[in-house]
Amino acid sequence: MASSPVDHLPAHPSPTLLLVAHGSRDPRHAETVRALAARVRELRPWTRVEVSFLDFNTPSVSEQLNHLAAEGARDVVALPLLLTRAFHAKADLPAVLHAASVRHPRLRITQAEVLGPSPLLLAAVERRLYETGLRPGDKSSTGVVLASAGSTDPEAIAVIAEIARELRHTGWCAVRPAFASAALPRTQDAVRALRTDPSVTRVAVAPYVLAPGFLPDRIVRGAGEAGAEVVADVLGSCPELAELTVARYEEVGRTALVGAAA
């Protein structure tokens, strides 16, 4: 009989995994984050997985950490559900975690790396494109707009451009980055630019965003305005995202072991 993950429970409790999402007034955002958390629990049923938000939704990061401390938790890994390392990961979240550490000195809080970049995210983008009806054989004639939410952080913008290049190397005819806010080009402009490429017979827009909300809706509107033939879904709770979330969580444990051995 095949064994289940529960048959191999670790000898000591693993740190609580606190997923930290951006948050949105759009209820679909929180629903998507909770669906991703459910997938992560399936992969690691022996780990406590909780959800928190930086803005708009509850519980906030601070509220969730207060709750965990009151329950006697000792170790928490705060994992930003962010695709690039911009302001929220560099400044906003660290400040919130530091304040929680001061309030709860017995609670050890470690911030994990953001989700991107990762080959698993490229795989998730392609999954969403194929779910629209595209097939691997369509790559050679399909141009893709990789549409991100956008950021004022130059590092984050550079990461999106690099991911677009990596996606192009998987065989798509052409790939252009685009942004819903804070940076250019906008989605509709990238779609129009691809139409000037004679080798592109159809244009697909792939939202490089985690969950629905105001900016993802702007991406969809831009795609429609410019006449893109294909618009993929957000990355959401797809298996690759759950696998990547677990990998980022486990990286924290490996880093701790290396530090202890040094």
Catalytically active residues, by annotation: 22
Cβ–Cβ < 8 Å for 150, 187: no
User: For the chain, what percentages of helix, strand and coil (3-state, to nearest 5) are there?
Assistant: 50, 15, 35
- Which tokens go with 13? 């409790």
φ/ψ (deg, to 5) at 53: -135, 145
CB atoms within 10 A of CB 4: 8
With H, G, I as helix, E, B as strand and everything else as coil, classify residue 50.
strand
Using CB atoms within 10 Å of the CB of residue 251, give its burial: 0 to 12 exposed, 13 to 18 middle, 19+ buried: middle
User: Quick one: CA torsion of 183, 188, 191, 192, rounded to 10 degrees?
Assistant: -110
109 - beta bridge partners? 76
- Which tokens go with 220? 């969809």
Q: Could you give the CA distance from residue 192 to residue 25 in angstroms, rounded to a whole number?
A: 31
Quote the DSSP letter at residue 210: S
